Amino acid sequence: MRFKALIAAGLASLLALSACGSDTAPTTNDTPAGGETTAAQGTEGGAGGDVGVFTWWAEGSEKVGLEALEKRFKETFPNDNFVNLAVAGGAGSNAQAKLEADLQNNNPPDSFQGHAGAELFDYIQAEQIVPVNDVMDELGGANVFPQNLLDLISVDGDIFSIPSNVHRSNVAWVNPEVLDKAGVSHDAPADLDAWIADMDKLKAAGVETPLAIGTAPWTQVHFFESVLLAELGTDAYNALFADGDWKDAKVASAVSKYAKLLSFANTGGADDWPQATDMVIDGKAAYNVMGDWAVAQFNEKGKVDGEDYLYWPTPGTDGTFLFLADSFTLPKGAPNTEGAKDWLRLVGSAEGQKDFNLAKGSIPARTDVSVDDFPPYQQSAMESFKNDKIASSIAHGAATSNAWKGEIQAAVSGFWTNKDEAAFVDALAKAAENFR
């Protein structure tokens, strides 16, 4: 099927991202020839009218990230009226259903947040979004965005959406004071088994919940994808979305280790990611595996990098950047197409990407925003994105369509309740059969 082939091609490009070095990774200080660094194109001051922007950046540090973009948008396009249509719920857990209904009822916002990769191909295939080649050309196209990222948002030369940022999924956030209670080293454990051994020590020293996790199913998918990556390795993990075998013994051992790790986690008390990350911030847990939007929350709460919190790639995944990217669309039938394009111009500008990513914890999708402008966490993420292997996130639309993700999430949720490892593996294999 044509779209499946496109997704496979897109993912192949993504894998090639890591092989491209500093020419394409978004970490250089170079301003490529032809690259525009200003957002002030289109009609001077903006096209005018309401510009309704749909995201799930409604609360906490994510809201702060959106506000940084909003502020710059208002300054750059004073004629436009930003209308915040955000729907709360991490990873779009509530927003995506509302968006789907709105799109089906021909009631689209002016722009909405999507994920580069398989998820975006859903919207393209359903003809719910239209190309934005003109805006991308103004911004500088492949001179300022990595070609292989463009491949994840393009079909037949048409570019659908403007990427705002790149996030890393496989990060363990760590409270060093809690580790000290059990004399556990601050260094990253070498692999999942070493990590499990440290959790045993923490438990024995009286730390009730070494690991924090949300009860929201997506937070469990988020954790599971890191464990799967750790156990399979990058190539076998990535192959799962093409022709890899979900019945492989390594998937079963990943599930067993996931079960073991969950035995060290809270079973309630933290709903979405902010509450789970707060358990680490507040010293109620030692670890939380969360995307790097979490760093914004540590910073928002005045915590100091290297003193109050540490971070490592999820044990067993060092050397791999588990990738996702937010990308803003132009829906078919958007009420204010020209205003929406102003928003896209801002999102894709160097200034917009700097303001936004500083607040959001992610790294710019553009290649011409200086590394030196960013604090140590983002510098480390830029370094990893430039040099490491790349794997694509399930929980955040890079590897799987929304429908496939939904089935994986149902399997993960079922396992949270019944702890039936064989049934979990079967459900994962069935989901792959249904969707690839």
Q: Give min distance, CB of 363 to ligand GAL, in A.
A: 12
Q: In this structure, how many other beta carbons lie within 10 angstroms of the beta carbon of residue 188?
A: 19
Q: In terms of CB distance, is 57 or 173 closer to ligand GAL?
A: 57
Residue ranges that bind ligand GAL, judged by CB under 6 A: 56-57, 62, 90-92, 115, 167, 273, 291, 293, 324, 326, 396
Give dist(CA 162, CA 366) in Å, integer: 10
Alpha helices in 301-401 (DSSP H): 337-348, 350-360, 376-387
3-state DSSP helix/strand/coil percent for the chain, to nearest 5?
A: 50, 15, 35
Q: Give min distance, CB of 115 to ligand GAL, in A.
A: 6
Give dist(CA 427, CA 429) in Å, integer: 5
Q: Give min distance, CB of 407 to ligand GAL, in A.
A: 18
Q: In terms of CB distance, is 145 or 273 closer to ligand GAL?
A: 273
Q: In terms of CB distance, is 90 or 364 closer to ligand GAL?
A: 90
Q: Give min distance, CB of 360 to ligand GAL, in A.
A: 7
Q: In terms of CB distance, is 167 or 341 closer to ligand GAL?
A: 167
Q: Give min distance, CB of 209 to ligand GAL, in A.
A: 22
Q: Give min distance, CB of 75 to ligand GAL, in A.
A: 23
Q: In terms of CB distance, is 55 or 384 closer to ligand GAL?
A: 55
* CA distances in angstroms from 387 to 97, 146, 175, 290, 307, listed in the order given: 36, 14, 27, 21, 27
Residue nearest to ligand GAL (CB): 90
Give dist(CA 402, CA 206) in Å, integer: 41
Task: Give the CA count within 13 Å in the CB-facing half-sphere of 265.
Answer: 25
How do strand 320-328 and strand 389-392 relate by DSSP bridges?
parallel
Q: In terms of CB distance, is 92 or 313 closer to ligand GAL?
A: 92
Q: Give min distance, CB of 381 to ligand GAL, in A.
A: 13
Q: Identify which of 192, 204, 135 has the alpha carbon closest to the alpha carbon of residue 163.
A: 135
Q: Give min distance, CB of 180 to ligand GAL, in A.
A: 29
Cα dihedral: 179, 182, 185, 189 (round 10): -80
Q: Give min distance, CB of 20 to ligand GAL, in A.
A: 22
Q: Give min distance, CB of 393 to ligand GAL, in A.
A: 8
Q: In this structure, how many other beta carbons lie within 10 angstroms of the beta carbon of residue 186?
A: 11
Residue 210 token pair: 């070494």
Q: In terms of CB distance, is 7 or 91 closer to ligand GAL?
A: 91
Q: Is the separation of the CB atoms in 213 and 270 below 8 Å?
A: yes
Q: In terms of CB distance, is 195 or 321 closer to ligand GAL?
A: 321
Q: In terms of CB distance, is 167 or 389 closer to ligand GAL?
A: 167
Question: Cβ contacts of residue 312 below 8 Å, gap of 6+?
Answer: 171, 172, 174, 188, 318
Q: In terms of CB distance, is 91 or 265 closer to ligand GAL?
A: 91
Give dist(CA 228, CA 251) in Å, integer: 7
What does the DSSP assignment read for 33-70?
TT-------SSTT---EEEEEE-S--SHHHHHHHHHHH
